[in-house]
Structure formats: C-alpha cells, structure tokens
Structure 1
Amino acid sequence: APQARRGAVTGSVGKTSVTRAVEAGLRRAGKAHASVKSYNNHIGVPLTLARMPRDTERAVFEVGMNHADEITPLSKFIRPHAVAITTVGPVHLENFAEGEIGVAKAKAEIFDGLEPGGVAVLNADNQWFDLLKAQAEKVGAAVRSFGRDGTSARLLDFVVEGAGATVVAELDGEAVSFPIRQTGVHWGPNSLCVLLMLEALGVDRATALAALAEFAPIEGRGAEQTVAVEGGAFTLVDESYNANPVSMQAALATLGARKVKGRRIVALTDMLELGPDSPRFHAQLAEPIAQADIDLVFCAGPLMMSLWNALPEMRRGGYADAAPELAEKIVAAVEPNDVVMVKGSNGSRAGAIAAALSALGRREQV
C-alpha cells in the first residue's frame, strides 16, 4: 500500500481545533486517520500511530508539550510531510527558564522529523515567525505563511454573522471568501492554517472549503447553546476546556464583536502554568475586558483575584475562591438575552460553571 501522507499540528493555542478541522477535510478526501481527543504527548502520539490502518491515505496528528525536547522524538515518530504551528504564546512558561523564546524553540522541534521536501505552515502574525521560519528553512522545508501578514494565505476580513462567519482572504494572490461555522476571531487565521495544511496533504480546495463550511465548534472550545430560563433564554458560550493569555484575549475580543440584546457576561477561572508572572497576566485582562465592553465579570480562584482587584466596581459581578461556589452566584445573576462566556483552565474547573449554567435549561423543562 502507498504510504499515508502525514501532517502534524502544534501551537500554544488552537492545536486541537485545527487538528480536528484538518481531519474533517482529510475524511472528505479519502481514507483518513487522526488523533482522538487531545492525544498529543509521548503516550498519545505513538498510540495514534499504532492504531493507523494500513490503507490510510492521509493522517493528521496533534503534538503538544510542556517542556523542551518533548516534541523532537514525537516528530521523528510521525515523520510528517507537513507541519503547522498555529501560534506561540506565553503558555507552560513555568518550565522555560528563558521565557517565551524557549516555548518558540520547543515548538520548532516539530521540524525535526519532517520528511525531505516537506511543508511548514506558519503564523505570519506571530512575533516568533522569523525565528520559526529560519528553523524550518534550516531543514529544507517549504514555508507557507498565513494571517494578516501572510504571503500564502492573507487574511483580509472576518465578518461574524449569527452563528458563523465569513472569512475574506487571498490564497496565493487569488481572492476567496468562504463561510465557517465559528464566531471566534481566532478562526480567521485558524481557517487559513487549515486550508494550507490540507493543500500540503493533497486535498483539493473545494473539498477543504466544504469541510470548513460544516466544521462545528468542539465542546468546551467555543460551542454555544441557548438555555431557557424564566422569561426567555440566554446564550452560553462554553470555552471552559482551557485558557491562557492568548486564547483569553481572543475569546474576549470575540464576545466584544458580537451584537447582543442583553448583557455580555464572563465567568473566568485561573489560567494555570504561567510561572512567576502569573498574577500580572491575570490583571492585564482588565484591558481587553474594557475594550470588549463586557458588562459583568465573575472570577474564581487565587490568581483571578489579581484581575478582580484590577476591575472597576461597575464590572464586578462576583468573586469566589473556587469555581463551584462561583457557579451559584452566576446562576443567580443571569437574565434572558444575556450572553455568558465561561473560560478558564481545565485544572481550575471552569467546566463546573458551564455545567451549572447548562443545567438551568433542563430545570426549566422539568
């Protein structure tokens, strides 16, 4: 059987969603294989490889890391024909003495197993683009870039309409605009990253665009639901799967861009693994919150106390030491037409808040 064309996706934010969207395109194009859930570490990657059927035509693997020297062996296992680095940001900083540049270098390990003549898909808007591009070119990769500064896929506009958006872009100088079922602003660049990866793995553009048009948000990663309450309903945006400064700012900007009938409310829990600068990263969220015109902020956790202290009185919805206690305060405060976004790290139990808000609708139906 001919060998499967393999892709690998890493990045500080968006790697699971991008991997899933690439997978959707691969499945439309033929016999495909992909990581399940976030099987992206030294156990998950070999497991995913071992499970790959012999007749697979194309495959995509998610690759993650908390430390240096973690991605190199995984990349060498996969031997990808195409790799993507969605973005690099201040994530898992506590394990990197040199800070964010250390994270960037660790992500660049994804190039270590690249097949000769392989493709590297990189975020042109990221501050580490030049460093990553140089590393990719060192191993002979063809670099394809995406984003507002992208040369291969240039993002021109991202227009949110209802439960989806239209991405307006230039692909290798050719104008395209296409619909997606996502409202998050980060899906402008993400969708272009997906298109470049699919192209590198031999999927034609029509198939790639059809897959993106149907790809729905994943639970805990921007999925929305309408929750019935007395007198109407509110919208729950569940971003509870994970959080770091990059994804938090994107989620806040997305909420700010929405047209709302009621109030914009956020429930935030601690962002973990950010090292000694952690309180500052939390306090700095006050600025994007103000820009997004958020009406009420609910915070849970010792680190979120730094944000709480930085908020003006009028925006303070409620504070609790832990997520389950905070859930009760939000449940009591929510009203019809509100849009409520829940976001935080998995370890700080943001999911408990999303679950409590979701359960309100079931209570109404009983």
Structure 2
Amino acid sequence: MNAAVRIAGRVGRALRETLLTLAAAGGVACVVLTILAFAGGYSLIMFRTGSMSPTIPAGSVALVQRIPASDLAVGDVTTVDRAGELPITHRIIDISPGPTSAQRMITMKGDANQSADPAPYTISEARIVRGSLPGLAYVIVWLGSPWVLGTITVGAALLVTWAFWPRARRPAPADAEDEPPGAADDAPPSPGFATRRERRLDRHVASCVAIGMLAGLPCLSSAPPAGAAELISITSNGGGTHVLDAVRPYDWDLDIDAASAPADGELTITLRGEGHGVELSTVVRSCTTRWDGSGCPGAATTLGIAAPLRLDGAEKPLLRQATPGVVHLRISVTGSGDPSGAATLILRATAEQTSVEQSVGATVLPATGGPSPALLAAPAAVLTGLGAALIARHRRRER
C-alpha cells in the first residue's frame, strides 16, 4: 500500500512540474514577444492567400518589423499600410525617391501574380518580413477559438491553484533536533508528502506562470491578418443589427476592392440571406465612385430591381466583371414580418479563388484590432486561483 501511495505521489509531482514548466515556457515566450513588439517594432501577420507562393504559402505566419522606407531595398518582402484599406504584403520590384527625403515610391508584385500591383505606393515606413512559418496560421486561428481559449484559461487557473495549494508536510522524525540544517530538504519523501524543496520549486515555477499570463496578455490576441485580403477586400458602412422598415429602406454601402487581382482574372459578387420570420426585398445599384449621404456622386447603374431575397442561404449572383477593378455597391433593404424575426445578409466577393465576405443584420460582428473583454478572462482566472490557494494556506497556518 505504501509503495502504491509513494508511486502515485511521485507521478503526481512529476506531472505537476512538467505542466508548470511548459506553462512557464509559454509565459516567457509571451513576455519575449511582447518586449519585441514594443521595443523592436516586431509583430506577426497571417497569410490567407497565396499571392506570395511559394515563398510564403497561404496559411503561413510571418514575423515582420517596422522600419523606415529609406532602409528598404529591391527584393524585400514588405507589408504596406493603405489608407482606408487592408494592408498588402508583396515583394518590392522597384524603388524611386518620394516627395520628401524620408519617403519612397515603391512598386510591388506578388511572387504568384503575373503582373505588378496597379500603382506604386508612397510610404515613409513599412513592415519588412523577417521570416515565416508555413501552416502556423491555422494553429493560431484554432487557438483563438473561444472554446480553446476557455479551456486554456481554466487549465491555467487550476494549474496555479494546484501549485500553491497547501499540502501536508512530511512528519518530522523523533531525532530531528540532531539533524544538520537542510537535512530535512534532502531526506527522501514520505508517501504522499512533498519536501520543502519541491514545494518551493512548484511555487517559483507557478509564479512564472502567473507573471507570464499577466505580462504576456497581448499573446492571447490573434495575429492581425495583414496579408489576408491582398487580392480582394471589402469595406462597408454596415455591421451589427439594424431595424428594417417596410417602406423606408436601409442603405448598405460596400466598396469591393480587387485592384490587386491579376489582369486576366474575374471578380464575382453574390448575395445571400439567412434568418427566419422576416421578408426582405432588395434593390442593388453600383456607382462609378463611392456612395455618400446624398447618393452616387458619379454614374449609377441598377443591377437588380426590387425583388424578394429568400432567407435560405442560397447565393444570388449580383455582378461579374474582369479584374483588376473596384466596385461600389449600394444594397437598399426593406423588410416586414414578425417583430421577433431576424435576418442576416452576406455579400461574397471572389477573385482568383479567394473569397471575402461582409455581413450585416441580426449577427453582431466581433470587434477587431482592439482589446477584447475575453482577453481579461485568463489573468482574472489565474489571479482567482492564486487568491484561493493563498487563502487556504493562510487558514491552514491559523489552525
């Protein structure tokens, strides 16, 4: 019996130390990445398209560093920020002086694209790719799942609580007064009891876990998909839930940018509806320029007259045209039906086998680019577990 208890105790301590060491290593990695991000201008970006294949295939994660434009050279793979649009990551094929001494005009081209980007970019700084790992984007997306984050949060809290929870001390032998200092730490453990050295080690490592979880909080957020929509992007005035009227339409304005798509490609745009208890009617129009509050400043074209939109998830074709190009759409939506009903409209744009979606209606889209309350769950859980263990330790001492 004593042998079984002794083996179980050793296995438990080995498992605890292994888990704590792995968690501490993850915390230290988060701390290092956070320091690099603030001190060296480093960040991570994900690639969902293959415009840089085979150098950087779709699904890769790249480490990028923000540097002045004067430090760039032809051949560098660079991420350029674009006003009002998503960043683009391509290889520099030409550099020329810009309007000021700090600016440069660069021409870029994706390794997998047949032609260069439509126009050069005037920049004063950019993010240069320092290295990439294929397939890591899928792992990051998986880790960003609420279920996975929740499991990690609960696991971290339980691990820290386990490490700090007070344990029974090894009973002192009758002749303990004759032992030299430190002998109790080196003596073999009794069944089911942990030595002082093991308890100190567990607490030190658990402290690293807690510090890593707190200081490395930015690591919990997903890497920004800077290369996610290099070929095509969608911006709109919509988002969240809107109350529909049977007479006065809600105008959903969208800008579909496929200017970086190859010249011999094709852009297709579809619309689908999902929901229940609501009857929708849509009118789709395009404009040569961006829609504003007064309507279309340029020339408008009606792509579809008022027609019911079925909420069965079926794709409804709206537009098909050659790339590159930019499309400005206004979808006017009216609705009637059960007040408790809800509907979601999803517009899909596809070019070069790359699809991007934008939705509006009953589904509230999550915010991007900023801190989320969910990110506070991990440190809160760790601190809760740590507090519970310390309270239990204090009560044990009072007995």
Query: TM-score range, shorter-chain basis?
Result: under 0.3
Q: Which has the larger radius of gyration?
A: 2
What TM-score, normalized to structure 1? 0.27
Structure with greater proportional strand content: 2
Structure with greater proportional helix content: 1
Higher relative contact order (CA 8 A, sep 6+): 2
What TM-score, normalized to structure 2? 0.25
